[in-house]
Structure 1
Amino acid sequence: MDYRLVDRLPTVEEFVAVTTAVGWADAYDRAAIPASLAASLHGVVAVEGDRVIGIGRLVGDGVIYHYLQDLAVVPERQRRGVGGAILSRLEEWIAGRASSRTFVGLFAAGESVSLYRRFGYAVHDEMPGMFRVGPYRPAAAD
């Protein structure tokens, strides 16, 4: 497999193609994708020929907080080092801008957990994560 990494965000079409291929089609409000991508800190795409086969991006404040977001590789190219290569490139970008106490977070599920563990990511009991998924409205405190 011959692919190259390009430091850029995916286009909306590339984002939709890759995330749909991995089963995330219903995870995003399509109308919100352009603004979400534009607000990213950095992106990396893996390109094979003229097709994007993998994507990854960073969100956060770019100094203290970084979140690995939407790291995905089309199923027929998974388990061939593409995801690890994208992750390495994203980590290089972070390393060039990180503070002495930078936090890098992510959500991982299923088989992707092993990829992140190889890069030193771990579940931390002392820092449990929480999240809400929209539609987002302020919640009333009880």
Structure 2
Amino acid sequence: MTEPYALFDRLPTPEEHRRLAEAVGWGEAFDWDTTPASLDGSLAGVVAFAGDEIVGMGRLVGDGAKYFYVQDVAVLPDRQGAGIGAAVVRRLLDHIARTVPSTAFVGLFATDGAVPLYERHGFGHGDMAGMFRLVEPNEP
């Protein structure tokens, strides 16, 4: 039986973020020196704890009025399948619904394994295709 978990409306600390990101295989996806500033720029966050152990996280980025992106939803591998990721996503979407003045656009990028989770929460491709690019800093 999986230990119960509790959700808290806050961002993960940089250390908590790194622990969860590395646990799900995202260790190379982040520049850990800029993570604190990135987290500080977030609109909202949710963390999940089982006892005093962080087991999941998610956050929102965007303009806080019209455009939102669900970012960094991660659950420890041995806790996946217990509804923690779904609860984090619901909590983030509830935050948006409570704070927006009119219909909001909510986007995200998902790993292949996470697509069913997001589809269960109403996300789909519609008539758009997600795109991205990386921009390197200018040399001084």
Band of TM-score, shorter chain: over 0.9
Unaligned residue ranges in structure 2 (runs of 5+): none
1:56 is aligned to: 58
User: What letter matches 1:27 in structure 2?
Assistant: A
* Distance in 2, Cα, partners of 1:109 & 1:136: 26
TM-score by length of 2: 0.93
1:71 is aligned to: 73
User: What letter matches 1:87 in structure 2?
Assistant: V
Unaligned residue ranges in structure 1 (runs of 5+): 138-142
Instruction: Tell me if 1:106 matches 2:129.
Output: no
- SS in structure 2 at match of 1:116: helix
* Distance in 2, Cα, partners of 1:114 & 1:107: 13
User: What letter matches 1:51 in structure 2?
Assistant: E
Q: CA deviation at 1:99?
A: 3.4
Q: CA deviation at 1:29?
A: 0.3
- SS in structure 1 at match of 2:118: helix
* Distance in 2, Cα, partners of 1:108 & 1:49: 28
Instruction: Tell me if 1:5 matches 2:7.
Output: yes
1:129 is aligned to: 130
Q: CA deviation at 1:127?
A: 2.0
Q: CA deviation at 1:101?
A: 2.6
User: What is the CA RMSD across the aligned residues, in angstroms?
Assistant: 1.1
TM-score by length of 1: 0.92
Q: CA deviation at 1:118?
A: 0.4
2:99 is aligned to: 97
User: What letter matches 2:32 in structure 1?
Assistant: R
Q: CA deviation at 1:111?
A: 1.5
Number of positions where the alignment pairs a residue of Structure 1 with one of Structure 2: 136
* Distance in 1, Cα, partners of 2:124 & 2:110: 10
2:109 touches 2:130 (CA, 8 Å); kept in 1?
Answer: no
User: Which of 18, 21, 24 is the matching residue for 1:22?
Assistant: 24
Q: CA deviation at 1:133?
A: 2.3
Q: CA deviation at 1:135?
A: 2.9
**1:97-138: CA deviations, max 9, x gaps?**
1232310000012120000000110012x222221124345x
Percent of pairs with identical residues: 50
